[in-house]
Chain A
């Protein structure tokens, strides 16, 4: 069915655009970064528009070929990835321009990673998924080491690469086991094989290996060790990218895997998800309490939030998907806002990373301090901000699933998390007059403002398109 290939239009645009920009960048003289960066932005916007238009079409059958499947879920997931990639790219470009870092590889690596993510969304075959995830991961390893003359960045890149390669091998071993038992790596075939119940132990182990690989990429315990180190070592706008878009993509891919091929293993993977959730929550929350560096704090916070998201997946039905989508949609802008703040704190050479660097910001930058306070409170889950409602959705779904011990732990972790989220607010407002090191240029300020407005307004202003998106994203269950 030739017309189905139109669904690959954004990916094609992206691919050919990347190759073109590579050529252009190689031959441009001084302003290579500017040209390539603006070109990358144009590409992303174009892909987003095409993806949104395509998301309105339902496809008969849905399969493009034997290894890609476009249904409402993957189409919308793709749009979401493009949408959230735009501010990440903007932040990175803004930073590189200010630092006069004239290498043009950043936007290209960025786009390659995004391409990998959207291909993985639509995958209906484990091998396709593996290849796409590798395409996503390799640019991330390079991006982590982007500041290649800096010791920390190189260390972060190497760490990420080694751990990532190892976990990819484990993921691949799971695929190999599936192939060995089932003879195919397509999702439908795997689902049938799991339903039939033959060699179920081996298949369960294979599923476990695959899920472990995904937990690693998500930053969920017990595979979370890389998160604080890489967030701290990577350049800040790249850490912002790590904290948002790949997480969104991996969570959606995880949901797809759990609810389509691995659906017959519900009782087994439910136990796994619950365990990973509790571990992530506890390790993330308690790890963050003693942190003095903002980026490490965000790293542990990311682990804790991975715990909340996994808790939302506990029940594995449409309501769970709605809760997880809502959580991601409400949580990601806040992370963008906080990284916008981090990009505006300076010391003598470069960015200041200590939490104490926000001292006295309420005197010098009252508006920005207020917006930042809103964002931190929203992360902590304090009503009436959006972060609370995100946690409420997830915990409500979990309680309905009967997992109230997990909910108890999550609620306790929420209270403990207030300790470290309130600390910057206390430093901003209570510390005596001091020369504040904050300096907000236009783009970070804009992102901070939008994120804070989002954190307050999204709940209290009825928005129809958003709720349609969430309702549709619950259609993960195939056929």
Chain B
């Protein structure tokens, strides 16, 4: 069915950019107005995404809300459509961007208009990346996000933001080159470049293996996976809070999403490289967890936690069983929420004391009880406590890994446990213990209403996903996202409606 809803979804942030460009007058007035416009725009985008989520029919066609727009001849049609996977990510994206815009009220003091314009532009590009059905346009949006993000990190970041920005740009670009090459070669062998067309082609085994190697390296930079993760800690730490939320919450997921799409196109490559990829995933998980344990900078710790979680996601994707695959998707969603919430929390603290050093904090539970309670929830979700969003993902990935082999199952379970080590350590130092400075109570105030709203929203989302994971896995039922060689042992994807 033809539907202009997706085009509307993509252009809503751009309309916001247009209105922000029109704002003029006294500087303070402009700053306030553009923030209101941004909140309104991202809020409406989220509402639209939510409406799409509700209207998506899990028992209907695989791809819904399709529309097609002809462009330049050699480029093909600009085809938009959502299947279960993209639907979930579109929802996550719009939610996180809305939260991030709310967060940016305090962090960005100079040139707020430029910041929010770039921010909305990035939102439009990321939504586009998830909504297109064309491999070429996915690449276009995948890479198009880089320059605005580069500007965000460089201009509004903290002390070493320039080198972080350049490193981010060049690392990810170098990875994208491989993606581009693989794309060109794939398109030379195929007629159309829709995901469906590409998935139905049977490429030669040798070709598939080489292509998969190229594309895997490209996504390994984005995800990121050890040893190509080196751009991430610096980029996350130096970026302003709202940019970190988006970077960790969404941009990393672009890598995971792309990997899933390519797994259906290159099944031989997947099977051939599976052991290597699993190894890298485990190394990433364990190494990043170990490094996170010794961090003194809060943001750096959360950054390494992201690397660790993405390692676990990769393990789930490549576990070879549908269970692990589903778990990986759920973990990606959960991690988006958790990373966003954690960076928000760090931002709240940074706003008050202007330091990210963990040792400077302590006893927050008595100063900011509500905040400490929400932070506890986020930390537990990061660990994967049942009832929070992280549980479904981690347990399914561990099950999938266990079905692959005993060793991988044990490693996956252990890795999931490692996050408990550093996250609980962080929480203990932040929330419990004695106050470290007498002047503390003067500087640290309680959450203001805006921050309360954000905290509650994250908490609600985490709990919702924790108690109703089916709500999020049901849209995946009919989506053709599984690689051909996946063994279906437990038909988790086809959930019969209980009622």
* Chain A residues packing against B (C-beta within 8 Å): 322-323, 326, 362, 366, 373, 377, 382-384, 388-389, 392-393, 395-396, 399-400, 404, 407-408, 411-412, 414-415, 418-419, 422, 425-426, 429-430, 459-460, 462, 467, 470-471
Contact = CB atoms under 8 A, between A and B. Distances in A.
A412 B177 contact: yes
A415 B71 contact: no
A411 B181 contact: yes
A395 B169 contact: no
Q: Is the interface of A mostly helix, strand, loop or mixed?
A: helix
A362 to B, nearest CB: 8
Nearest to A370: B114
A241 B184 CA distance: 34
A399 B71 contact: no
A444 to B, nearest CB: 21
B73 A396 contact: no
Contacts of A389: 72, 75
A415 B73 contact: no
Contacts of B143: 382-383, 388
Interface of B: 69-75, 114, 125, 136, 139-141, 143-144, 146-147, 150-151, 154-155, 162, 165-166, 169-170, 173-174, 176-177, 180-181, 184-185, 187-188
B170 A396 contact: no
Nearest to B72: A459
Given A382-B144, A384-B144, A471-B73, A366 B114 contact: yes
B20 to A, nearest CB: 12
A467 B73 contact: yes
A407 B174 contact: no
Contact of A377 (B72, B136, B147, B177): B147
Q: Is the interface of B mostly helix, strand, loop or mixed?
A: helix
A426 B170 CA distance: 13
B320 to A, nearest CB: 31
Contacts of A377: 147
Nearest to A401: B188
Contact of B71 (A323, A326, A422, A459): A459
Contact of B162 (A366, A430, A462): A430
A382 B74 contact: no
Nearest to A470: B73
A310 to B, nearest CB: 17
B184 A407 contact: yes
A21 B151 CA distance: 50
Given A382-B146, A419-B170, A426-B154, 18 more contacts: A366-B114, A382-B147, A383-B140, A383-B141, A384-B140, A384-B141, A388-B140, A392-B136, A396-B74, A404-B184, A411-B177, A411-B181, A415-B174, A415-B177, A418-B169, A422-B169, A425-B147, A470-B73
Contacts of B162: 426, 430
16 contacts: A322-B74, A326-B74, A362-B114, A366-B114, A383-B139, A383-B141, A384-B140, A388-B140, A388-B143, A389-B72, A389-B75, A392-B184, A396-B184, A411-B180, A419-B170, A462-B71
B154 A429 contact: yes
Contacts of B180: 395, 411
